Amino acid sequence: MKQELKALMIGLLLIGVLGQPALADMGNRDHGLSPEELAFVFGDPNADGFEILSPQEMAEIEGEYGWVTVLRYISYIRSLRPILRYDSKPHRFPSSWGPLQGNRPHIHIGFYRKGIKGSRVEKRIPAGPRTSWGSHKR
């Protein structure tokens, strides 16, 4: 599961990086905002005065920081530690779980970053028959 999660995250990241040059071709005249709207957004009456880079300038800087971003995300993903375990001790699931409500054994799914306090993200998923409401024992 850890490898599949890594592959999914890297794939989504690459799609975002590869789509970046397509978005870079849009100039400030194609956005459809009036000079008054730009002045309001940027807090500068001369906000419409920024220049569009020439195609040569765009080609020179295109993707310059893309690999840095990819490597940074890869190192972040490698620092994650997965949590996947089955807990036979019942946990109480509230009525918002519908037919899965009640005291049930469950699976813990999540991840955390080693050495970073408060980075733990964990969810419980019901995985077994319901026990009585009043008891946490089997």
pLDDT in tens, 94-108: 888 888 888 889 898
Neighbours of 110 (CB within 10 A): 15
Neighbours of 104 (CB within 10 A): 20
Lowest-confidence segment of 1-15, 47-61, 97-111 by average pLDDT: 47-61
pLDDT at 133 over 60: no
pLDDT at 138: 44
